[in-house]
């Protein structure tokens, strides 16, 4: 019996979303053989799996990560509901001519949107790259808890049959605290600094969602992309200082290309085996000195003059601690789940972003 080979490029069609129906198999004419044995050739006809269309409500959709995610989901014909604080601002980011059919809702309408959704992605939160006055620190934490509570309450108040099947809620690798020597994965305990406290409270708010809703907490590393996040802010100072290391250069930098992050969130929406905490960091974190030397080579800048901490703090505020005091975080769960990173190495990620 001969079974057809499946080219590597089509094996992904055998993900959980695919089904192999009896009609996928075609049995050809029997083979004649001199020894009297008659075998059959079986051809598998692999049809492209039609992913189920989802309706997804997204908080923080107007942000750096959210915009990328919405673009991908919309391109794949999923229905999107943008849950925002400002309809007019969201409409300018997602104009109807480019995003036909997209629903944009302010807070009073969030619950209605969530009711009609099969999934929710929760990305909202006040940016941390600011000066951290006591009031701002409070707002950084409260903004995340408030939006997450609102989403969780809206889900829990619905009748079971009307609830979205999955909530993918953002959190950050700041959960683990910072260290130059330790290696963190999803099993590691939380740290003791301010960002760790923010992440713990943010996650415990998400954990209040009804336990029949699949909850995925994505602990995001530094997301790298051209049009936002830390990299966009770091590049101008880096250029100004001839591109040397930031701070001591020994700190760990747990990064992820924003496209891989979007793919991970997308997979978490569709794949029921994705549940609990998943670190969203590339499999090869680097020390910041190495990151800067790759950045220098990609930007064509010599990488020798250290960028003073003060310069970085001037643009990132105390939020610079994320870069200046890093942590080495590994994506153990994503690897166990078989997630394939398009950009496992920072040099290739930077080249793709900056070329
Ligand atoms: N970017 C990274 O490297 C990174 C790393 C780790 C974790 N994360 C987390 O991932 C999430 C998305 O990141 P991002 O970089 O896309 O964030 P972002 O660009 O700062 O966007 C976040 C969105 O949150 C909403 N928002 C802003 N301030 C708010 C406030 N005070 N109260 C309520 N909502 C507010 C805004 O949406 P509306 O104006 O439409 O309401 C904004 O578009 C954030 O929660 C962030 O902490 C990001």
- Model confidence over 181-221: pLDDT tens digits? 999 999 999 999 999 999 999 999 999 999 999 999 999 99
CB atoms closer than 10 angstroms to residue 137? 18
Whether residue 273 has its Cβ less than 6 Å from ligand 1 = no
Protein residue with least CA distance to atom 13, ligand 1: 65
Q: Evaluate the CA torsion angle 223, 224, 230, 232 in order and state its sign.
A: negative
Task: Give residue 101 CA to ligand 1 midpoint distance, Å.
Answer: 24
Beta bridge partner(s), residue 172: 220
Report the pLDDT value the prediction gives residue 33, as an integer from 0 to 100.
Answer: 39
DSSP letter (8 states) at residue 325 = S
Protein residue with least CA distance to atom 24, ligand 1: 124
125, 142, 205: which to mutate for ligand 1, most atoms within 8 A of CB? 125
Whether residue 220 has its Cβ less than 6 Å from ligand 1 = yes
Whether residue 286 has its Cβ less than 6 Å from ligand 1 = no
Report the pLDDT value the prediction gives residue 31, as an integer from 0 to 100.
Answer: 36
Non-local (6+) Cβ contacts of 100 within 8 A are none
Whether residue 123 has its Cβ less than 6 Å from ligand 1 = yes
Whether residue 143 has its Cβ less than 6 Å from ligand 1 = yes
Q: Does the pLDDT of residue 9 top 50, yes or no?
A: no
Whether residue 346 has its Cβ less than 6 Å from ligand 1 = no
Residue position matching structure tokens 């130059």:
180
**C-alpha torsion 263→269→272→274, nearest 10:** 50
Q: Looking at the domain that runs over 55-354, which CATH code has it been given?
A: 3.40.50.720
CB atoms closer than 10 angstroms to residue 36? 6
Whether residue 122 has its Cβ less than 6 Å from ligand 1 = no
- The number of helix segments (H) and strand segments (E) in the chain equals 12, 16
Whether residue 126 has its Cβ less than 6 Å from ligand 1 = yes
SS3 158: coil
Q: Does the pLDDT of residue 164 top 90, yes or no?
A: yes
Which has more pLDDT, 51 or 151? 151
Contact, 39 vs 30, CB < 8 A? yes
Interatomic CA distance for residues 233 and 250, integer angstroms: 20
Domain ranges across the chain? 2-44, 55-354
Task: Give residue 147 CA to ligand 1 midpoint distance, Å.
Answer: 11
Q: Does the pLDDT of residue 10 top 50, yes or no?
A: no
Task: Give residue 123 CA to ligand 1 midpoint distance, Å.
Answer: 6
61, 65, 176: which to mutate for ligand 1, most atoms within 8 A of CB? 65
Q: What are phi and psi of 271, to 5 degrees?
A: -105, 110
Q: What is the pLDDT of residues 96-133, one digit of tens each?
A: 999 999 999 999 999 999 998 999 999 999 998 877 88
Q: Does the pLDDT of residue 45 top 50, yes or no?
A: no
Residue position matching structure tokens 């809620």:
169
Report the pLDDT value the prediction gives residue 325, as an integer from 0 to 100.
Answer: 82
57, 58, 62, 63: which to mutate for ligand 1, most atoms within 8 A of CB? 63
Contact, 57 vs 111, CB < 8 A? no
59, 69, 124, 145: which to mutate for ligand 1, most atoms within 8 A of CB? 124
Interatomic CA distance for residues 187 and 50, integer angstroms: 35
Q: Does the pLDDT of residue 311 top 60, yes or no?
A: yes
Protein residue with least CA distance to atom 2, ligand 1: 223
Whether residue 306 has its Cβ less than 6 Å from ligand 1 = no
* Token pair in block for residue 111: 């619950």
Whether residue 174 has its Cβ less than 6 Å from ligand 1 = no
Q: Which ligand 1 atom lies nearest to the CA of residue 82?
A: 40
Which has more pLDDT, 73 or 242? 73
Interatomic CA distance for residues 204 and 89, integer angstroms: 30
Task: Give residue 137 CA to ligand 1 midpoint distance, Å.
Answer: 15
Mean pLDDT in residue range 133-137: 89
CB atoms closer than 10 angstroms to residue 331? 27
Whether residue 206 has its Cβ less than 6 Å from ligand 1 = no
Task: Give residue 128 CA to ligand 1 midpoint distance, Å.
Answer: 9
Q: Does the pLDDT of residue 137 top 60, yes or no?
A: yes
Interatomic CA distance for residues 275 and 291, integer angstroms: 31
Query: Which of 91-105, 164-178, 227-241 is predicted with the least confidence, judged by mean pLDDT?
Result: 227-241
């Amino acid at each position: 019996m001969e079974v057809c080979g499946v080219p590597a490029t089509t094996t992904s069609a055998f993900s959980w979303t695919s089904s192999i129906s009896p009609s996928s198999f075609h049995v050809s004419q029997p083979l004649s053989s001199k020894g009297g044995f008659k075998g059959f050739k079986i051809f598998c006809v692999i049809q492209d799996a039609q992913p189920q269309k989802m309706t997804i409500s997204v908080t923080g959709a107007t942000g750096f990560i959210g915009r990328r995610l919405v673009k991908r989901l919309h391109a794949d014909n999923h229905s999107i509901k943008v849950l925002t604080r400002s309809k007019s601002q969201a409409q300018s980011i997602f104009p109807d001519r480019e995003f036909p059919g997209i629903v944009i809702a302010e807070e009073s309408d969030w619950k209605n949107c969530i009711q009609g959704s099969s999934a929710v992605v929760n990305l909202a939160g006040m940016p941390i790259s600011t000066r951290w006055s006591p009031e701002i620190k409070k707002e950084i934490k409260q903004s995340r808890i408030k939006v997450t509570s609102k989403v969780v309450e809206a889900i829990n108040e619905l009748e079971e049959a009307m609830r979205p099947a999955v909530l993918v809620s953002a959190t950050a690798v700041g959960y683990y605290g910072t260290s130059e020597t330790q290696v963190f994965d999803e099993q590691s305990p939380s740290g003791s600094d301010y960002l760790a406290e923010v992440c713990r409270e943010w996650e415990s708010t998400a954990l209040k969602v009804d336990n029949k809703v699949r909850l995925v907490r994505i602990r995001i590393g530094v997301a790298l992309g051209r049009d936002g996040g830390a990299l966009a802010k770091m590049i101008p100072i880096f250029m100004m200082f001839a591109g040397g290391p930031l701070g001591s250069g020994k700190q760990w930098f747990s990064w992820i290309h924003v496209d891989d992050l979007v793919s991970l969130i997308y997979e978490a929406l569709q794949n029921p085996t994705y549940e609990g905490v998943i670190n969203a960091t590339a499999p090869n974190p680097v020390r910041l000195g190495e990151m800067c030397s790759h950045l220098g080579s990609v930007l064509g800048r010599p990488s020798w003059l250290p960028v003073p901490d003060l310069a970085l703090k001037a643009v990132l505020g105390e939020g610079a601690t994320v870069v200046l005091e890093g942590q080495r975080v590994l994506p153990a769960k994503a690897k166990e789940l078989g997630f394939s990173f398009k950009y496992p190495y920072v040099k290739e990620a930077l080249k793709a972003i900056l070329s």
